[in-house]
Structure 1
């Protein structure tokens, strides 16, 4: 692999780790009520608990992305981060469908447009950590040794 690609991936991983850590901290502090707008009304768990728990998960993933640089752990952390973005996506859909304001998303159009950014977060986590290739390699090793 070209050294420049490694630098781009490392920068992408570090930036994503920083973004997740910052977002997680704001879940627990200054943006707690804003994040509650993303918890669907139908979700059976208290919205504040969901925001606090997801904040802890984001901080954990962010710190892991900032500190785990060797494969296969790096790819596994990236895959978990991507999965996290998939798991929280229904909250973004609910915010749009339930017409909830939060983070300046005060129109249905803004909330709808935001939905298209979630897949980009998934791709960012996968690409920056080389998660798909790493998971394929692990599966291949398992088949060969098993």
Structure 2
């Protein structure tokens, strides 16, 4: 089972970078955050809502496919380097550069948000919503 979050990203377990089953490593890769952050959230979840978190973790362990190893992929030693370079704060990027990247991503999203806002505030949308209520 694989899910799409962004174009080209699939949700998998990542046993290659796992502590237990690779669920946290897979989630971290999917959302583009550090693995330790996801692990910290899971541990916090286990402390405060243990049954729900444990059930979700076990379900993810059983339902998610292992991350496929592609032909021509970098060797294990190089894999860590490739993975680290995708994280701004590990690639030696200054905070100002990281902020610039985020600003560029937000600027790219701005036209889409404007189109959505224009649609939602239009009279056509309000009329369509009233028809749907009938």
Structure with the higher helix share, 1 or 2 = 1
Using CA pairs below 8 Å that are at least 6 residues apart, which structure has the higher relative contact order? Answer: 1
Same fold, judged at TM 0.5 (above): no
Please tell me whether Structure 1 or Structure 2 has the larger radius of gyration of its CA atoms. Answer: 2
